[in-house]
Amino acid sequence: MFKSSGRRGFGRSSGTVTVIEARVHRSSARRARVAFLVTVFVVGLLTATVAADRMHPVFALILGLITGGVAGAAVWALVRVWPVLRLLWWWTPEILAGLVLVYGWVALARHTNLVLRLVVVAVLVGVPAGVPYLRRRVVAVAWCVIVRHRLRTCFAQFIHANQSGSLPLILWARPTRVGERVWVQLRPGLALRDLEHRQDRIAVACWADRVVIERASTGNAGYLRFDIKRRDVLTATVGSPLVDLVDPATPTPLRTVGQTPTALDLPDIPKPGASKPTRDTGPSPRKPATAPAPEPATAAAGVNGEDVTDWI
C-alpha cells in the first residue's frame, strides 16, 4: 500500500492510493517473519554443526548465527516483495515495451539526424501497419496483453481468493486462430469447478464470444488453460481449386426431371379404425416333392408277333 500526501484540485487531499491490497500486505508480512525465523534456525544449526568439526564450538555457533541471519534476511526480502514482483510480472510486457521505446529513441537521437529519425520511425510504424500479415500479428499480440489484464480484473472482481488474498497467477498467453490461449496457475483454495460455472462472465470480462477452461496438465490440477474464442473459423468461406479445373466450354447436359411426389402411397398401412390384419405366422410348410412314377415298359415283339420280353 502506498500513500500519497498531495492534494487534488479545489483543495481536496488525494487520500490513499492502493497498489497492493491490505489483506495481501498483512499476509506477506506474516509469511516473511515465519520464513525468516525458520531459515535462521535451519541454516544456523546446519552451519554450526558442520563448522564445529573445524573450529571451537563457540566460534561455530557465532558463524552459524551470522550465516543464518544473512540467509534469513534474503528469504525475508524475497517473501516480503513477492506481491510487488507479482505486480511487476503483470506489467512486464508494458514495462519492456516502454524501455525499448525510450532507450531506442535516445540511442537513435544520439547517432542520427532528424530526417533519418523520421524515416526510421515511419518504416517501423508504417510497415507493420501496411502489410496485412504483420498487422494481424501485431493485433494478435496486443490482444494477448489485453486478455492478461482482463483476466486479472475478472479474478479480482468476482472470483473468491484464498484466505491470504492471493489471486490466480496468470502465466503467459499466445494467439490462436480463434482468439487467445492463456495459462493460469491457481492458488490454494481454488479449483477448476469454481471457474466452470463462471465461463460466461469470464467471456464478458475478456470481450470475447465464449471461454473454454480445461486442465493443462495431468499431474497438476491447478494448472489450467483458458481458450478465449472471439470468432469461429468454421463459418468462413473456403475456396476450392476444383472449380478452376472445369473447362468453361463444357456443355451442360439437359436432365429430365421426373414428377415430384406430393403424397405418400402406403397401401399396406390400414386406415384409422380398420381391423388389424392377422399376424402372419410364417410360410406354410411345403410338401415333399414325389418322384414321377416310371412308365410301364412296352412289350418287345419278336418274329411273327411273339413276345420275347422274358428272354431279354
Residue 3 lies in a domain: no
85 and 142 inside one domain:
no
pLDDT on residue 277:
54
220 located within any domain = yes
In the prediction, which pLDDT does 312 show?
Answer: 52
What pLDDT does residue 145 have? 92
In a domain, 156, yes or no: yes
Euclidean distance between CA atoms 216 and 172, whole angstroms: 13
Does 172 share its domain with 228?
A: yes
SS3 percent helix, strand, coil of the chain, rounded to 5, is 50, 10, 40
Q: Report the SS3 class of residue 223.
A: strand
Total number of domains constituting the chain: 2
pLDDT at 2: 44
What is the predicted pLDDT for the residue at 203?
92
Asked whether residue 195 is domain-assigned, the answer is yes
Residue 291 forms part of a structural domain = no
Does residue 98 lie within any of the structural domains?
no
Can you give the pLDDT at residue 167?
79
Task: Write the CB contacts of 3 (distance below 8 Å, at least 6 apart in sequence).
Answer: 16, 17
**Is residue 241 a contact partner of residue 208, using CB atoms and an 8 Å limit?**
no
| Res 195: pLDDT | 87
- Whether 39 is in a domain gets the answer yes
Output the tens digit of pLDDT for each of the chain's 312 residues. 444 444 444 445 444 444 555 666 677 788 888 888 899 899 988 988 888 888 888 888 888 899 999 998 999 888 888 878 878 888 888 889 889 889 988 888 888 888 888 888 888 888 888 889 999 999 999 999 999 999 988 888 876 555 555 778 888 899 998 999 999 998 888 888 888 888 998 999 899 999 999 999 889 999 999 999 998 777 667 677 777 777 777 777 777 777 776 766 666 666 666 555 555 555 555 555 555 655 555 555 555 556 555 555
Answer yes or no: do 85 and 135 share one domain: no
Residue 83 sits in which domain range? 13-90
Q: 40 to each of 50, 54, 62, 300, how far by Cα in Å?
A: 15, 21, 12, 137
Residue 280 lies inside a defined structural domain of this protein? no
| Longest Cα separation, the chain | 163
In whole angstroms, how far apart are CA 54 and each of 42, 59, 62, 69, 209?
Answer: 20, 10, 13, 21, 69
- pLDDT at site 147: 93
CATH of the domain at 228: 3.30.980.40
The pLDDT assigned to 54 comes to: 84
Q: Which of 21, 22, 19, 16 is nearest to 4 (CA)?
A: 16
The CA R_g of the chain, rounded to the nearest whole Å, is: 45
Question: DSSP readout, 2-65?
Answer: EE---B-GGG-B--EE-SS-HHHHHHHHHHHHHHHHHHHHHHHHHHHHHHTTTS-HHHHHHHHH
Domain match, 81 and 138 both: no
Final residue belonging to a domain, choices 187, 206, 232:
232
